[in-house]
Amino acid sequence: SHELTQPPSVSVSPGQTARITCSGDLLSKQYSYWFQQKPGQAPVLVTYKDSERPSGIPERFSGSSSGTTVTLTISGVQAEDEADYYCQSADSSSTYWVFGGGTKLTVL
């Protein structure tokens, strides 16, 4: 199926490590991408091709993949990291793209 499943919310204290998961059959065959979206702003790409990081994205953001689950890890979470995070991938032919439902990261 062309679905990606994320937990609705994750909470973490400042300085701790946040892990946001995304699961779906697509992920065993296609790359994953993670986007950060703050209120009223356009999404920002924070990782691509499972584990690559675009220039300008802090090193505390990292991505990993294992089978049908991918994980966005934010090490040493800061207050400014509070946002919605979306995973994204594509079907096996890279024709149709799909987003996960999104995860709200709360920094306590």
Partner 1 sequence: QVHLVQSGAEVKKPGASVNVSCKASGYTFTDYHMHWVRQAPGQGLEWMGRINPNNGATIYAQKFQGRVTMTRDTSISTAYMELSRLRSDDTAVFYCARDPVAAKDGMDVWGQGTTVTVSS
Torsion of CA 71, 35, 93, 25, to 10 degrees: 30
Structure tokens at 106: 């709360």
Which of 21, 37, 64, 75 is the binder for partner 1 (CB under 8 A)? 37
- Residue 7: partners with Cβ closer than 8 Å, 6 or more residues away: 20, 21, 103
Residue 58 interacting with partner 1 (CB under 8 A):
no
Write down the least CB distance from residue 4 to partner 1, Å.
Answer: 10
> Which segment (11-19, 20-28, 33-41, 68-76) binds partner 1 by CB under 8 A?
33-41
Write down the least CB distance from residue 16 to partner 1, Å.
Answer: 25
Rounded Cα gap, residues 86 and 48, in angstroms: 12
Which residue type sits at 39?
P
Summarize as ranges the residues that interact with partner 1 (CB under 8 A).
31, 33, 35, 37, 42-45, 48-49, 52, 54, 84, 86, 88, 94-102
